[in-house]
Amino acid sequence: MSYEIIESCVNCWACVPLCPSDAIYEAKPHFMINKKKCTECDGDFISAQCASICPIEEAIIDSSGDFLNPEGSLTGISPDCRSQVMVEIQAR
Amino acid sequence: MMELNAADLTTKNIDEGCSSSGCGGSNDQLSHLPEHIREKVHDHPCYSEEAHHYYARMHVAVAPACNIQCHYCNRKYDCANESRPGVVSELLTPDQAVKKVMAVAANIPQMTVLGIAGPGDPLANPERTFDTFRQLTDKAPDIKLCVSTNGLTLPEQVEELCQHNIDHVTITINCVDPDVGAKIYPWIFWNNRRIKGRRGAKILIEQQQKGLEMLTEKGILVKVNSVLIPGVNDQHLEEVSKVVKAKGAFLHNVMPLIAEAEHGTFYGVMGQRGPESLELQELQDKCSGDMNMMRHCRQCRADAVGMLGEDRGDEFTMDKIELMEVDYDDAMQKRAEYHASIETKREAQKNKNNETFISISSIKRHKKKQSRPVLMAVATNGGGIINQHFGHAKEFLVYEASEMDVRFIGHRKVDLYCSGDKTCGETETTLEKIIKTLNGCEAVLCSKIGYEPWEMLEEAGIQPNGEHAMEVIEDAIAAVYIEMVKAGLADKNISDSEMQIRA
Ligand code: SF4
Ligand code: SF4
């Protein structure tokens, strides 16, 4: 039972101090989760803290390899309406 | 001179015990503030008309994490609100930061204010931020501390902030309306959860306003920064200005959105535009009113290490600092002497400036014809004089000369993200950028300027001028203005037709 940080991570530090299990550490080329320590925040928080503050979509995956923050989930703009939103923004 | 004016007026109002509502005339720029805040602003070296030529601020990057997302920010880099985009600072531990500050302060006496602004949100990293402050309050009591924050966790930290040598707090407030906020902040991290959209923006706004009120109550100066985002909050910022000033912010500082696709920000990638220079200035005028002496606060030189014209950053890398022995008591003594000499110099320059202004106002009496105000840009390394080569200028100071006086309008930064780096753009595009930055200015004063930029500036209707090298800025601008008036270049009617073209 563990989450994993992958290469889209931008090393922003946001997740590190929040982890209740002290599982996240600075590493190159990107931060890492110690698989032995990660509890998926079970028993501590309703939502995984790293995934709740991570500003980057598709940077953290669960044990089945799914993104915790899939594309569009953080910008609030789903991939289908992206081009339409772009037109709106460019008209500003 | 403007400082004297503004200061005199305000002092007078306080002396007469005039209530702010009774004499909130256009001249009393501080009338909206509670008295204890007003006095503090008054005595402050950073916020006076010309002090920023002499004093500098430095930042240390000790606070990496952030608890909200702004659409103009890319988290690979430093907080977009406080530094130029695309900048990555070396992250320091609190101990390293303290060492660095003491080493710089011992070597560069202009350094008076230490700020923590990032690279994330200082108050989202309370342990690192407060550890740095605690040590500095103790070891370097003559250095003022300041902190910038998005405000989300501000209310719960006001108590702790008051324990340190905090001079002022900057809150970035881009809106007071959650619907506007939802277009700027996609989410916040709050009570261990991510809260998206309007709901998140609403919480953020409430926290910011609450924090502002609490700080004012405690007598801590609060400056509010807003990023002007065309089509999102441009119509809204005047309202923001009213609200934050009513709650005691002593300065509302409007900054331009910088959004380029290559910075990888949401706005950059989506093609959101930034404001034009004139668009920005108009709003800055509305929001800061005519608070001349305040405008300088907009930009203490962000980096003391680079203040002296030549970049001395290389002297203060962490490995060199580790080897430095700093006797801070001794350094503090020297700093105090240096600051006293600056004050003497400022006093002398003030008196001298008065003479200039008398001569400017005398044009009016000789001439029947009315002259219009003219904007001019200046390249300077500090010290209040024209002493920078055009080609080295990374920012310009913009002044307005009129029949009445010469007044400082603001800083315009040139976006040379990769200055000197051949990989990004030809000199020509850099020059074009500079010319765009100087939009609305009719002259640019510098110590020297090359042939090619000279021609291009002239072509763009901006008269380069290298004749006033090493002169006091206000004097030089007054001299150029008088020449323009004499040559009939500043007649009123030109302004009218030009206004039409602009409109
Ligand atoms: S899921 Fe929770 S326990 Fe696991 S790394 Fe993220 S914050 Fe730590
Ligand atoms: S919050 Fe996300 S991007 Fe930032 S360090 Fe953690 S995993 Fe990487």
* Atom 3 of ligand 2: nearest residue by CA position: A9
Measured from the CA of A16, which atom of ligand 2 is nearest?
6
| Contact flag A17-B125 (C-beta cutoff 8 Å) | yes
- Better pLDDT: B2 or A1: A1
Q: Does B125 touch chain A (CB under 8 A)?
A: yes
Query: Is a pLDDT exceeding 50 seen at residue B22?
Result: no
Domains observed in chain A: 1-92 (3.30.70.20)
Query: Is a pLDDT exceeding 70 seen at residue B424?
Result: no
- CA separation for the pair B192, B206 (Å, rounded): 18
Query: What is the pLDDT at residue B418?
Result: 42
Mean pLDDT confidence for B138-159: 92
Query: What is the pLDDT at residue B29?
Result: 56
Cβ(B250)–Cβ(B294) under 8 Å?
yes
Mean pLDDT confidence for B370-378: 88
Mean pLDDT confidence for A49-56: 96
Kindly identify which residue of chain B lies nearest to residue A16, measuring between CA atoms.
B65
Q: How far apart are the first and last CA of chain B?
A: 32
Per CB-CB distance under 8 Å, the chain A contacts of B197 are: 76
Q: Which of A14-23, B251-260, B452-461 has the highest mean pLDDT?
A: A14-23
Query: What is the pLDDT at residue B480?
Result: 93
Q: Which of B46-50, B60-64, B143-147, B157-161 has the highest mean pLDDT?
A: B157-161
Mean pLDDT score of chain B, rounded to an integer? 77
Mean pLDDT confidence for B70-89: 67
Query: What is the pLDDT at residue B287?
Result: 77
Q: Does A20 touch chain B (CB under 8 A)?
A: no
Sign of the torsion angle spanned by Cα atoms B101, B90, B261, B271: negative
Query: Is a pLDDT exceeding 80 seen at residue A68?
Result: yes
Please name which of B210, B285, B251 lies closest in space to residue B32, comparing C-alpha atoms: B251
Query: Is a pLDDT exceeding 70 seen at residue B316?
Result: yes
**Cα A10–chain centre separation:** 10
Instruction: Give the gap in angstroms from C-alpha A60 to the nearest C-alpha of chain B.
Output: 15
Going by pLDDT thresholds of 50, 70 and 90, the confidence category of residue B359 is: very low
Q: Domain ranges for chain B, please list them.
A: 57-328, 360-502
Considering the segment(s) B57-328 as one domain, its CATH architecture is Alpha-Beta Barrel (3.20)
- CA separation for the pair B475, A91 (Å, rounded): 44
Going by pLDDT thresholds of 50, 70 and 90, the confidence category of residue B180 is: very high
ipTM for the predicted complex? 0.96
| Contact flag A14-B270 (C-beta cutoff 8 Å) | no
CATH, domain B360-502, list 3.40.50.300, 3.40.190.10, 3.40.50.720, 3.30.420.130? 3.30.420.130
Q: In B350-442, at which residue ranges do the beta strands (DSSP E only) sit? A: 374-378, 395-401, 406-413
Query: Is a pLDDT exceeding 70 seen at residue B246?
Result: yes
Query: What is the pLDDT at residue B413?
Result: 77
Q: Which of B66-70, B116-120, B473-477 has the highest mean pLDDT?
A: B66-70
Decide: pTM greater than 0.90.
no
Going by pLDDT thresholds of 50, 70 and 90, the confidence category of residue B206 is: very high
Angle, CA B233 vertex, CA B216 and CA B441 arms, to 5°: 95
Three-state secondary structure call for residue B36: helix
Q: Does A79 touch chain B (CB under 8 A)?
A: no
* pLDDT digits 0-9 by tens, B249-292: 888 888 888 888 888 889 999 999 999 878 888 888 777 654 54
